[in-house]
Amino acid sequence: MFHKFTVLFLVAASVVAVSAISSKALSLLAAGNHEDHKQFEEFKKNFNKQYTPEEEKTRFQNFQKTLRHIEENNAKFAKGEVSHTEGINQFSDLSADEWAQRNHGHVIIPEGLNQFGEHGFKKP
């Protein structure tokens, strides 16, 4: 009999713990999603973006992917792992395929830099 109550107690405690963790995760997700929406609204305003209701969802999802990419890159920059920061620009609502198609798979290299982003001289 004692064993049954112990098992029931452990099961109940586990359910409560999982529920608490799930609630916390959902709260964090909702807070992050709210911040993403705020940034998306600011992005649309700054770059005069207007979408059909059907397109809005897709553009927001693309924008969120871009935000995560920017966050990852800038965290690497803070650790000294990359040499540049990134930010939101007029292309932040494009999918990777749209970006590649728009640029025909080419990257424009600023004058004075080679394809590796280096100046035209070699380090000794």
Residue pLDDT, tens place only, 83-105: 999 999 999 999 988 888 887 76
d(C-alpha 26, C-alpha 16), whole Å: 15
Q: Which domains does the chain have, with CATH numbers?
A: 34-117 (1.10.287.2250)
**Weakly modelled stretches of the chain, pLDDT under 70:** 1-32, 105-124
Residue 119 bridge partners (DSSP)? 113
Closest CA to 60 of 85, 26, 37: 37
Question: Rounded to two decimals, what is the model's pTM?
Answer: 0.60
Q: Max alpha carbon distance in the chain (Å)?
A: 81
Closest CA to 71 of 108, 35, 117, 27: 35
